[in-house]
Structure 1
Amino acid sequence: MRLFALSDVHVDYEANFKWVRNLSRIDYRDDVLILAGDVTHHQSQLAACLDTLVGRFRNVLFVPGNHDLWVWGEEREQTSLHKFARVVATVEASGAVMQPSWYGQTLIVPLLGWYDYSFGAPSEELRQMWMDYRACRWPEKFEVEDVAAHFAGLNREVAPAAATRVITFSHFLPRVDLVPAFVPARHRVLDPVLGSTRLERRLRQLRSTLHIYGHSHINRRVRLDGVTYVNNAFGYPSESGMTARELLCVAEI
């Protein structure tokens, strides 16, 4: 059984959704897909995308990204926590999974999270440009640290002692040095909203040896301090020159 990774498929774009629909209905029937967030903020498209993928893979394991929790254009009383609840219901209805899953002695654990500025303080430029500040909406007096703590608190406790291998995945980056050195300094303004060090602490507690992440749209495979980190983002149509735009087999399970 193969384990594939994919993130940031953004099926709001028809070209991206067409790629999903064109995936083989036969080749992956015995395989598992980790879908590491940022599918779409449109509920109907999320359902359609998950239904499509569940019909092609043995299992689809999912965590939502920031785009999936946007409430852009929705009623004012609807917060991104309400949206998260609807996303969970959509995932469950599709047959996809957001819970720790065992495959023999391999344990695969989704890590919910949010950025918490542990990668740096946001600049005024970032606050003006980052869409989450306008497209997400949180309960009154909820700060970004409260958001991150809330989602971290939803992660289920698991006992990895019986596992011979633990694989974890999240949408957000668990460490800032996953951003490669070639990224220009002018783009590092985004660092504060890329991830959270609490994700790194959690995957270390679980003794993970492979971690799948998304969000950065920078495809990478790197080994750091005994853990292999992999990002396989599909990305926006305009990013076709910088992302692989294909499924990536990351392990045999």
Structure 2
Amino acid sequence: MQIQLLSDLHLEIERPGKALYHFEIPKTAECLALLGDTGCTAHEALFDWLRVQVERFKAILFVAGNHEPYGWTMSKSHARLRAFEAETSGRFIFLNQTRIDLSPTLTVLGCTLWSFLDPVELSANSVKDFQRIEKFDASGRSALHLSDVAWLNEAVTRIANEEPERKVLIFTHHAPTIHGTSDPKYAGQSNASAFATELTSAPCWRSGTVALWAFGHTHWCCDFERNGIRVYSNQRGNQEGKENFDVGRVLSF
């Protein structure tokens, strides 16, 4: 099984000499995973671009990031993604606390995994999200974080107990561990909790069932192992020439 995995394409951001929602992805696998901040669901151009990809790839696994709902409520953004999913005969899959079995021994679990905000840092954290997503605040974000973590813990534990032959790939937008998932120059900054939550002591990490955890959001590409899990990201970010980003990189399982 091969998956071409990318995140943070930010097709909604203006770049010199490039039109919005124009980005070529060379096809190097049948399955494409987009782990958030692809664009804004309020822009129909996002879905025009996604329709092109649906025609090219056998399956697209799509995680929503924090930019997808900009300009709308979270529920309206999710509804638009569900409506698009219904158009594609199963070729576009919105991962929102979703399990997908890729084979008899390989499963993907996907969700946004909004990070847990340190209350001390709330004044410095994610103000843009609270301003740009309608009817969204710190309490709502906290509820989403807790819901995603509870779902991941339950889903991974159930697979470990009932289907021990399976290996699990977890796809999220926010990072599941702190160290190594962001540019080291940002270490210790007050907004760190907006990007990552330390989950290495959680049941979903310690089960022995998870082979890989892939994420986005930090605009930092990485590939390392922590406590038996491969931690991976391949992020374009909002500027061209991001170090180590490879649009054609494929993961094989």
Question: Could you state the TM-score of these two structures normalised by the residue count of structure 1?
Answer: 0.78
Q: CA deviation at 1:177?
A: 1.5
Q: Distance in 2 between matches of 1:86 and 1:176?
A: 32
1:172 is aligned to 174
Distance 1:194 1:139, change over 3 A: closer
1:113 is aligned to 113
Give per-residue Cα distances to partners, 1:175-232, cap 9 Å, x unaligned: 112335732447x333111133469736325821111100001000010000001000
1:47 is aligned to 47
Task: Verify the 8 A CA contact 1:7 1:233 in the aligned structure 2.
Answer: yes
Q: Distance in 1 between matches of 2:54 and 2:201?
A: 29
1:219 aligns with 2:221: yes
Distance 1:193 1:200, change over 3 A: farther
2:22 maps to which of 18, 28, 40: 18
2:141 is aligned to 144
Q: CA deviation at 1:44?
A: 1.2
Give per-residue Cα distances to partners, 1:46-93, cap 9 Å, x unaligned: 31232222222221111100000112xx5xxxx223322222322343
Q: CA deviation at 1:8?
A: 0.6
Task: Verify the 8 A CA contact 2:109 2:170 in the aligned structure 1.
Answer: yes
Higher helix fraction: Structure 1 or Structure 2?
Answer: 1
Distance 1:180 1:80, change over 3 A: closer
Q: Distance in 2 between matches of 1:110 and 1:199?
A: 17
Distance 1:157 1:176, change over 3 A: same
1:96 is aligned to 92
Distance 1:133 1:88, change over 3 A: same
Task: Verify the 8 A CA contact 2:22 2:49 in the aligned structure 1.
Answer: no
2:247 is aligned to 246
1:7 is aligned to 7
Q: What is the number of equivalent residue pairs in this alignment? A: 236
Distance 1:217 1:241, change over 3 A: closer
Per mean C-alpha deviation after superposition, the further-off stretch among 168-177 and 141-150 is 141-150
Distance 1:219 1:200, change over 3 A: farther
SS at match of 1:145: helix
1:67 aligns with 2:71: no
Q: Distance in 1 between matches of 2:68 and 2:129?
A: 11
Aligned residues: CA RMSD: 3.0
Q: Distance in 2 between matches of 1:200 and 1:66?
A: 25
Q: Distance in 1 between matches of 2:234 and 2:201?
A: 19
Q: CA deviation at 1:123?
A: 5.4
Q: Which runs of 5+ in 1 are unaligned?
A: none
- The one-letter amino acid paired with 1:207 is T
